[in-house]
């Protein structure tokens, strides 16, 4: 059974009860005011791997992830560009899903937008005001954090030691330093909705509570997001749920960041590479492999060179897949049960994807060795376990799945085919000078030729 690190208890503990057939998952989604970057890509991949793995074990996943489409940053950008917040949000939401799709990430089962939930959020705020745990000021409606007995659980330290206002001014109307805004007034011209507290918009922390409770129920299995969301965002979500008497998430998962030259990659820091750029430049599966080869709670350095190394590693995997199954059809073989079991138990141990992929790479070597020595049964069962296990975490193997497979460059054109045919002829005539010249010509065109016992094979060269 899958055990996962839980931020609330700082322990690795079982995620689902025995015999569970369904899992409910809430992942905090993006604020759509800028292009998604590599860090978002890692988030997308980490939770996609989790979801697919759980599903491969026969558990259905209800996966909700929000899109924040009303926010100060969106408004700022719209003002700067002389367009509407709505146009900005639509543009970057489209970019988000496009990048997600290209990474091979499953869409959430629901992806609600903040603007679609304003009424629900407003009534939630009203409920908190009615209960006397929230108060109204000219600068907005605030939740009294003091009303929550265990406020600060996810922060992992005493509240007094938090440096409120150390880096940013505390709003003067706040009664307590940890109080946070539930509803903020809109200035004229900004997006706003009518409310008992005047035209305004909901605070960010209210969004995810409203959506998760509404779509997953009062109590659900897992709430997830980046490390930076632990506090205050997730803490504040908990606070609202607590105050409303809802039990909320049973487990909290937080993943570590992508770093660039050791520093956190962030849109606000400006040190980011766009996800769109990555998936255009490389095989998106390489990024998934890179993510799989590190642990989700450790920072991951993503550079051209680490991505390139992942592409080479992927090449090794694809080669095996093609060797065992040149037509791309998964072989009807018994996947080696030891490899499958080992992979599974490593995955179940807090998603130990580095160990699990190491197991698979070990099986790749053994599968190739078996194939070299003509043991087809062994190589297929080992290789089958590799292909099956990787597919369970969203990584289909074989060059048919590579980026070239879908592009215009995927298949050799007439010219390349003709050169290859002539080279085969020259080789059978033992005219190696001509054969080598033709191979060089193909290399010029970006093709690598491999001679196999069953004839020559051609594939795209790496540059």
CB of 102 to RNA, least distance (A): 17
417 binds RNA (CB under 7 A): no
Told to check if 63 binds RNA by CB under 7 A, we report no
Q: Is residue 286 within the footprint of RNA (CB under 7 A)?
A: no
354 lines the binding site for RNA (CB under 7 A): yes
Contact partners, residue 377, CB within 8 Å, separation at least 6: none
Task: Please identify which residue in 202, 299, 398, 402 interacts with RNA, judged by CB under 7 A.
Answer: 299
Q: What is the 3-state secondary structure (H, E, C) of 252-304?
A: EEEECCEEECCEECCCCCCCCCEHHHHHHHCCHHHHHHHHHCCCCCCCEECCH
Is position 436 an interface residue for RNA (rule: CB under 7 A)? yes
Name residues contacting RNA, limited to 82-121 (CB under 7 A): none
Task: State the Cα–Cα distance between residues 402 and 269, nearest whole angstrom.
Answer: 33
- Which residue shows structure tokens 């002539």? 422
Residues 15-54 interacting with RNA (rule: CB under 7 A): 28-31, 37, 39-40, 42-43
| CA-based nearest residue to 411, from 447, 436, 455 | 447
Residue 219 as a binder of RNA (CB under 7 A): the answer is: no
Q: Would you count residue 226 as binding RNA (CB under 7 A)?
A: yes
> Which one of residues 66, 68, 249, 274 is an interface residue with RNA (CB under 7 A)?
68
Instruction: Give residues 245-264 in contact with RNA (rule: CB under 7 A).
Output: 255, 257-259, 262-264
- Of the residues 14, 86, 250, 323, which one makes contact with RNA according to CB under 7 A: 323
- 171 near RNA, judged by CB under 7 A: no
Report helix, strand or coil for 66: coil
Residue 74 contacts residue 87 (beta carbons within 8 Å): no
Which stretch in 238-246, 364-372, 383-391, 406-414 sits in contact with RNA by CB under 7 A? 364-372
Nearest to 131 by CA among 223, 250, 246: 246
Q: Is 126 in the site for RNA (CB under 7 A)?
A: no
Going from the C-alpha of 334 to that of each of 87, 330, 340, 397, 403, the distances in angstroms are 52, 11, 10, 17, 29
369 makes contact with RNA (CB under 7 A): yes
Which of 268, 270, 414, 455 binds RNA (CB under 7 A)? It is 268
Is 201 a residue that touches RNA (CB under 7 A)?
no
Residues 6+ apart with CB under 8 A from 64: 24, 25, 26, 27, 108, 109, 110, 111, 112, 211, 212, 215, 216
Q: Which of 361, 404, 416, 441 binds RNA (CB under 7 A)?
A: 361
**Residue whose CB is less far from RNA, 20 or 308:** 308
Place of tokens 């020259």: 426
Q: Which residues contact 342 (CB under 8 A, 6 or more apart)?
A: 356, 359
142 touching RNA, by CB under 7 A: no
């Amino acid at each position: 059974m899958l055990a996962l690190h839980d931020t609330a208890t700082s322990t690795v503990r079982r995620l689902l009860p025995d015999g569970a057939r369904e899992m409910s998952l809430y992942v905090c989604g993006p604020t759509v005011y800028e292009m998604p970057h590599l860090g978002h890509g890692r988030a997308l991949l980490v939770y996609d791997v989790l979801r697919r793995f759980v599903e491969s074990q026969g558990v259905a996943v209800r996966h909700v992830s929000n899109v924040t489409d009303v926010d100060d940053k969106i408004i700022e950008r719209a003002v700067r560009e002389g367009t509407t917040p709505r146009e900005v949000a639509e543009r970057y939401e489209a970019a988000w899903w496009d990048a997600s799709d290209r990474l091979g990430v499953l869409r959430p089962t629901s992806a609600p937008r903040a603007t679609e939930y304003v009424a629900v959020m407003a009534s939630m705020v009203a409920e908190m005001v009615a209960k006397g745990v929230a108060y109204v000021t000219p600068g907005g409606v605030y939740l009294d954090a003091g009303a929550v007995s265990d406020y600060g659980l996810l922060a992992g330290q005493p509240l007094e030691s938090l440096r409120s206002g150390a880096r940013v001014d505390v709003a003067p109307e706040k009664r307590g330093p940890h109080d946070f805004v539930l509803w903020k007034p809109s200035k004229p011209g900004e997006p706003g909705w009518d409310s008992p507290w005047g035209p305004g918009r909901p605070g960010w922390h209210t969004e995810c509570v409203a959506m998760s409770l509404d779509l997953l129920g009062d109590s659900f299995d897992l709430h997830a997001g980046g490390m930076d969301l632990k506090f205050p965002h997730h803490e504040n979500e908990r606070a609202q749920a607590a105050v409303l008497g809802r039990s909320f998430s049973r487990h909290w998962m937080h993943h570590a960041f992508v770093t660039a030259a050791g520093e956190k990659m962030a849109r606000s820091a400006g040190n980011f590479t766009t996800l769109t750029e990555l998936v255009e430049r490389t095989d998106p599966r390489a990024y998934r492999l890179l993510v799989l080869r590190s642990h989700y709670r450790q920072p991951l350095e993503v550079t051209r060179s680490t991505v390139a190394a992942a592409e080479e590693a992927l090449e090794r995997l694809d080669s095996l897949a093609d060797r065992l199954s040149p037509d791309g059809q998964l072989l009807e073989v018994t996947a080696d049960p030891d490899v499958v079991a080992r992979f599974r138990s490593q995955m179940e141990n807090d998603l130990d994807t580095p160990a699990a992929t190491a197991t698979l790479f070990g099986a790749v070597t053994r599968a190739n060795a078996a194939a070299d020595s003509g043991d087809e049964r062994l190589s297929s069962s080992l290789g089958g376990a590799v292909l099956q296990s990787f597919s369970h975490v969203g990584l289909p193997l074989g060059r048919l799945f590579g980026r070239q497979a879908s592009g215009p460059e995927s298949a050799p054109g007439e010219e390349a085919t003709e050169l290859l045919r002539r080279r085969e002829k020259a080789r059978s005539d033992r005219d190696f000078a001509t054969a080598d010249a033709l191979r060089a010509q193909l290399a010029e065109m970006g093709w690598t030729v491999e001679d196999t016992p069953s004839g020559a094979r051609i594939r795209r060269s790496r540059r």
